[in-house]
């Protein structure tokens, strides 16, 4: 089954063709990050307009690179939640038009379910049940993946997402947007151990996380140094910051593994590209005797192939939509479309 998949929830327009949920035939992607970097973050209005401009050309490119024609497409999958609403609407509207024109089923896909499904593309042997650590620009979740379309959130951030926190800290250090990667590169130049940064604890919710205190601590450090005319050791701060984020994520993930008894852990989302977090996950999983799935960097960030992968399993579970499908800025990944109507 060939699925034509669309992703437009933030600042990447992506169109892919995926066969049977596991084989990527093409994965066309256009990032707008350079444009938003001028403003230090994603400007929603610009994001929507850039998606409108890019999506048709990327669709032609995805079909061409896959070596298929429109007649070979059996279904259309699209990210319908969560994300910047104007941006998601572009993908949803376009996908609906394509499904209508081709007379094929329309499959709505939750963005974070898609991130988790990126692992099915990288690791053909991976099947649920497993635990997932989904860490992106807008979400930070520990998820029990009971089956391909049956998931429960075990832990979540109470405030900022891990990626958002990386982006904000990077901005304070004068690094370009999106800041996660440059922060990671900077951190590799130091062993850290210079700055004391807070670790949050959520009362009565041991698997929940919080990043806003950490974000504020970095902002305050930078402002205090500026006021005193002192230079910051940016590399050491970047390293200590990554360590603090990892300390928030990895021990809780280990706790969730112990609680559920799951023996497999899959990482997902842009922040899963972070070298400190990857190393900590590798160490922790080796100690626990848990098999770790770390997708390649290309599959960590937003892409269309992951939507095609999850779309296949949603289709198999009968989760298709009518052409009145809407887009949603927020949605729990355990919710179904019926819950939103």
Write out the binding residues for ligand KG4, residues 303-322 only, by CB under 6 A: none
C-beta of 242: minimal distance to ligand KG4 in Å?
A: 7
Tokens, residue 254: 């280990």
Pick 14 or 104: Cβ nearer ligand KG4: 14
Binding of ligand KG4 at residue 82 (CB under 6 A)?
no
Pick 18 or 99: Cβ nearer ligand KG4: 18
- Count of residues touching ligand KG4 (by CB under 6 A): 19
Binding of ligand KG4 at residue 301 (CB under 6 A)?
yes
Find the distance separating the first CA and the last CA of the chain, reported in whole Å: 29
Q: How distant, in Å, are the alpha carbons of 19, 66, 320 from that of 140?
A: 29, 33, 27
The answer, yes or no, to whether the previous bond of 295 is cis (omega within 30 of 0) is no
Q: Which of 3, 4, 5, 10 binds ligand KG4 (CB under 6 A)?
A: 10
- Residue 104's nearest CA partner among 78, 77, 74 is 74
Binding of ligand KG4 at residue 240 (CB under 6 A)?
no
The helix (H) or strand (E) run that includes residue 101 is: helix 85-102
Binding of ligand KG4 at residue 166 (CB under 6 A)?
yes
Give the C-alpha separation, 190 to 61, whole Å.
Answer: 42
Q: Which of 7, 208, 240, 302 binds ligand KG4 (CB under 6 A)?
A: 302
CB 207 within 8 A of CB 164: no
C-beta of 69: minimal distance to ligand KG4 in Å?
A: 30
Write out the binding residues for ligand KG4, residues 245-284 only, by CB under 6 A: 269-271, 273-274
Binding of ligand KG4 at residue 136 (CB under 6 A)?
yes
Q: Which of 171, 181, 264, 319 binds ligand KG4 (CB under 6 A)?
A: 181
Torsion of CA 282, 287, 291, 297, to 10 degrees: -10
Binding of ligand KG4 at residue 295 (CB under 6 A)?
no
- Residue 110's nearest CA partner among 138, 73, 72, 74 is 138
The answer, yes or no, to whether the previous bond of 155 is cis (omega within 30 of 0) is no
C-beta of 301: minimal distance to ligand KG4 in Å?
A: 3
Binding of ligand KG4 at residue 184 (CB under 6 A)?
yes
User: Given the rule CB under 6 A, which residues bind ligand KG4?
Assistant: 10, 136-138, 163, 166-167, 178-181, 184, 269-271, 273-274, 301-302
């Amino acid at each position: 089954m060939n699925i034509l998949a669309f992703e437009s929830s933030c600042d990447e327009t992506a169109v892919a063709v995926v066969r049977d949920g596991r084989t990527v035939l093409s994965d066309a992607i256009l990032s707008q990050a350079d444009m938003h970097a001028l403003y230090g973050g994603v400007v929603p209005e610009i994001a929507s307009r850039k998606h409108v401009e890019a999506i048709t050309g990327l669709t032609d490119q995805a079909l061409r690179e896959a070596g298929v024609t429109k007649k070979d497409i059996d279904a259309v999958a699209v990210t319908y939640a969560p994300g910047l609403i104007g941006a998601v609407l572009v993908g949803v509207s376009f996908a609906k038009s394509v499904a209508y024109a081709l007379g094929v089923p329309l499959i709505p896909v939750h963005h974070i379910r898609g991130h988790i499904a990126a692992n099915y593309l990288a690791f053909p042997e991976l099947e649920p049940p497993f635990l997932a650590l989904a860490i992106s620009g807008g979400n930070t979740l520990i998820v029990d993946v009971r089956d391909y379309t049956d998931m429960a959130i075990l832990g979540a951030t109470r405030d900022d997402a891990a990626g958002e926190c990386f982006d904000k800290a990077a901005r304070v250090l004068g690094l370009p947007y999106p800041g996660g990667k440059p922060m990671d590169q900077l951190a590799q130049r130091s062993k850290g151990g210079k700055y004391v940064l807070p670790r949050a604890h959520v009362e009565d919710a041991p698997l929940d996380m919080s990043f806003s205190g950490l974000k504020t601590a970095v902002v305050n450090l930078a402002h205090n140094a500026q006021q005193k005319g002192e230079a910051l050791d940016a590399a050491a701060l970047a390293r200590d910051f990554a360590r603090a984020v990892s300390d928030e994520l990895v021990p809780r993930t280990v706790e969730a593994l112990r609680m559920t008894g799951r023996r497999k852990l899959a990482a997902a989302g842009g922040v899963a590209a972070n070298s400190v977090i990857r190393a900590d996950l590798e160490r922790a999983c080796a100690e626990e005797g848990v098999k770790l799935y770390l997708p390649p960097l290309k599959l960590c960030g937003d892409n269309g192939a992951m939507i095609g992968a999850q779309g296949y399993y949603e289709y198999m579970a009968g989760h298709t939509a009518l052409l009145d499908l809407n887009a949603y800025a927020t949605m729990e990944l355990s919710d179904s479309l019926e819950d939103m109507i």
